[in-house]
Amino acid sequence: MSTTPAISLTGLTKKFKDVTAVDDVTVDIRAGRVTGLLGRNGAGKTTTIRMLLGLARPTSGSATVLGSPYGALPRAAHRVGVAMDAIGPVVGATVRGELLTWAAYLGLPRHRPDEVIGLTGLAGAEDRPVSGCSTGMKQRLALATALLADPEVLILDEPANGLDPDGIRWLRDTLRALAAEGRTVLVSSHQLAEVEQTVDDIVVIQRSLRYAGPLAELTDGGAHRLEDRFFDLVDAADRAPRPPAATAAPERDLIRA
């Protein structure tokens, strides 16, 4: 397996006027693993993903996937599969129609939608209007769309939202199987108990980076719950007094790898 990071963030910062949404985040995401991107609401998770995908311009720093900025990556839409709320369905489309539209856009054969329908448990719902699908079914459709081009990297923003217990178990098994095939999976989530059963590595951000490394290291091999360690990280850093700007510690000193 390659040791080259699949995703690299270097000094990544995003400011909206006087508000810093993401502050000097530097981290590498290893290839062939499932990585959980964790943080409270408003922590900067989605903003980070948007910068990674070229949907938002960093104030400073850089983000690369498979060695290049997303906008400069050859065949980016084939190599990186994305599922996030910003990607809405085609108006009036059925499940199969939605997938056929994306398959045509990507230049894929017409049989490919039926393959991902089978992979994502949508068999029997092919002719259902997307507007009439449950939240959980829409999540399956989003993953099916992300998988259409058989990508090397998957970037999923809150993929378990709306899934019932069977769906969550299916998602966990699916993500683990994709990583076992050598794909890189980055999952943004706030469902800590489920993340603990799914991922290999953890990245915690609360505007700045609080931890990056293996789940086993963060939890001492399971001796501590991920939920407890997560709150230790985000709460302790929020309570700590900030040093004067001239003597502030480099952000990378917060990284445990």
Q: Given a cut of 60, is residue 2 above it in pLDDT?
A: no
- Estimate to the nearest angstrom the gap between the alpha carbon of 18 and the chain centroid: 27
Identify whether 136 is part of a domain.
no
Q: Domain count of the chain?
A: 1
pLDDT at 253 over 60: no
**For residues 142-150, average pLDDT:** 95
Mean of the pLDDT values across residues 155-177?
91
- What is the pLDDT averaged over residues 48-63? 96
The arithmetic mean of pLDDT across residues 115-139, rounded, is 91
Cβ 203 vs Cβ 36: under 8 Å: yes
Structural domain boundaries enclosing 80 = 7-87+149-254
Quick check: is 167 in a domain? yes
Rounded CA separation 211/58 (Å): 21
Token pair in block for residue 180: 């076992």
First-to-last C-alpha distance (Å) of the chain: 19
Q: Quick one: average pLDDT of 164-174?
A: 91
Q: Which residues contact 144 (CB under 8 A, 6 or more apart)?
A: 99, 113, 116, 117, 119, 120, 122
Task: Note whether residue 115 is domain-resident.
Answer: no
Residue 105 has pLDDT above 50, yes or no: yes
What is the percentage of the chain residues whose pLDDT exceeds 90?
A: 74
**Cα–Cα distance measured from residue 112 to residue 235, given in angstroms and rounded to the nearest whole number:** 46
99 domain residue, yes or no: no
On whether residue 227 sits in a domain, the answer given is yes
pLDDT bin (cut points 50, 70, 90) of residue 92 is confident
pLDDT, residue 91, reads 66
248 band by pLDDT with thresholds 50, 70 and 90:
very low
Query: Is 117 inside any structural domain?
Result: no
Helix and strand numbers, DSSP H then E, in the chain = 9, 9
Q: What's the pLDDT band for 85 if we cut at 50, 70, 90?
A: confident
10-26: average pLDDT: 95
Question: What pLDDT score was predicted for residue 247?
Answer: 36
- Is there a domain that residue 164 lies in? yes
Q: Does the pLDDT value for residue 240 go beyond 80?
A: no
**Confidence band (pLDDT; 50, 70, 90) for 84?**
confident
| CATH number of the domain encompassing residue 75 | 3.40.50.300
**pLDDT for 244:** 46
Question: What mean pLDDT is predicted for residues 49-67?
Answer: 96
Query: What confidence tens digit (pLDDT) does each residue in 181-237 have?
Result: 999 999 998 889 999 999 999 999 999 999 999 999 999 999 999 999 999 999 875
Residue 126, domain member (yes or no): no
pLDDT reading at 239 higher than 80: no
Q: How far apart are CA 184 and CA 38, in angstroms?
A: 17
